Chain A
Amino acid sequence: MTPATLYGLCAAALVAIGLFGLILHPSPLRKVISFNLVGSGTFLFFGVAARRGAVAGFLGDPVPQAMVITGIVVAFAATALAVALLLRMLESGAPTVDGPPEQPDDLSP
């Protein structure tokens, strides 16, 4: 087994673990962290493609590497926005009252 394949399997496991938290965690902050796990696994798939595509004297295919750099930055921005939103929501009033009853605080995707 090559290191690329090994890390590819690791990526698959990361996605599965993150997805579990994303669906099940009731707290929005934990959902955001779980989303980042899924994201890290996803980026690793690009890394596997990059490593496997190491030809023409390069150590890896630079195109997927560039895409991951873009992706990491976008994921950071998403995290910052989500955290700002959830802080504002939780600080904007008592956590359990108000809000129509047909919309429970459940944020499951």
Chain B
Amino acid sequence: MTKLKLSGVSKAYGATLALRRGDLELDSGEVHVLIGANGSGKSTLCKIVAGSVRPDAGEVLLDGRAVTVSGPRAAQALGIGIFYQELSLADHRSVAENICLPDLPRQNGLFIDRTALRAEAERYIALFETVAGAALQADTIVGDLRADQRQLVEIMKALATEAPILIFDEPTSALDRAQVDRFFEILRDLKSKGRSIVFISHRMDEIFAIGDRVTVIRDGETVGTTTISETSPDAVIHMMVGEQETLATPQAAPPIHAPSTDIALKVEGLTGAGFHEVSFAVGRGEILGLGGLHGQGQSAILKALFGAVAPRSGEVKLAGERLRIDSPRSAIAQGLAYVSGDRGRDGVISGRPILENVTPIHALRNRLLLARPGRLAEKALPALKALNTKFAGLSHSIGSLSGGNQQKIVIARWLIDKPDILLLDDPTKGIDLSAKADLFALIRELAAEGLAIVLYSSEDAELLNNADRILVFNGGSVSRELSGAERTRYNLYQAAYEAA
């Protein structure tokens, strides 16, 4: 029986169309998987159902009746609970207060009933007792918890709404295997009680382990819905990428460079927050890949090399000379460049013109005092052209561009005055396929020009297709080095999962 039906739901933020046409049919007693690439509109769809985003158009039917979800409170009243990908926790409040925050139990009308609050929270904490870790107690302050524990609290908070419809937007991204298994047991139990569950995850194995049906969203549009038992991971991926599948399958590995004797960057025994005793060397013209599961220290070490966080010990040598890097500023001066995949946080100077977003490095390296738009434009345009960047004018705000083009602007910064070392920290996160293709073409070109490039990517295919050598990270240190013919998906997986 159809519990919830969305048809033709859309949402635009300014010029960006986040959701073009979202359709979804959710039955009672099913786990309905929503899948699609980053930025395809899944989260927007969920937030519309949960009332925290106002749709521009479309219809929401609950139990066959058209409803307007006017806000998160209204959604709760209609029986819709949600787990937010970015979490909706109050960091300085206790676990119990967070779990019950939407409806804190009262006594005498005015006061919080501490006993009831605790009892209520304990019920949900107990669900994860075996896998949550000792620190997760009712009166622990949420800010003191690990990332996975915070994610569990957000799950408990969603469960505590006891809503007939539960939406989970990437609830498992920080959880370990045991935690996921326990969560799935709970989901199956809820399902058996007739609850309707929307589940989002990027892990194909999870989707096939827990899902009943799957709906695929591509570029803000619902592509189709199929029954999980009648489909395969390949078929789902096919639906996700549409006609552009060629880019998703690994190509033949690129020609192997002769191990360069011309060492550009040498890292020896570098230790810091999230990584320890890491040593490697990159030659001129080489693309060194950093692989492994997400968050094994790859990103942390790149940030440390760029001076954004201080390492505790170890040595970095650039062309044989010891580097003293205490800030990105000094790193840039010594010829390093860094591109973050988290462009909203680390890259884009929001609300400012495209020109100002392309030229800060040029201004710094040439110690410019004056910003002459004409001259800067002369410098900026070739860099933007090298990346096939699409934009209406240099004076337009960077916010007017799509995610992929914004990232191209951020990368173009480094192309006016070429650095010696290019550090790429998952640079293609959340950008479209054609932008990725443009980007990697450029990276190969830069390597050919003699730059040393260190590339971390969370997508294995990108590493296998582009890196000359791959260091597989595990638990903060290098567990294996793959070069030449060893660079296979199998070896990469094996090294990544070995100790995990």
Q: Do A and B come from one complex?
A: no
Partner-B contacts on A (CB < 8 A): none
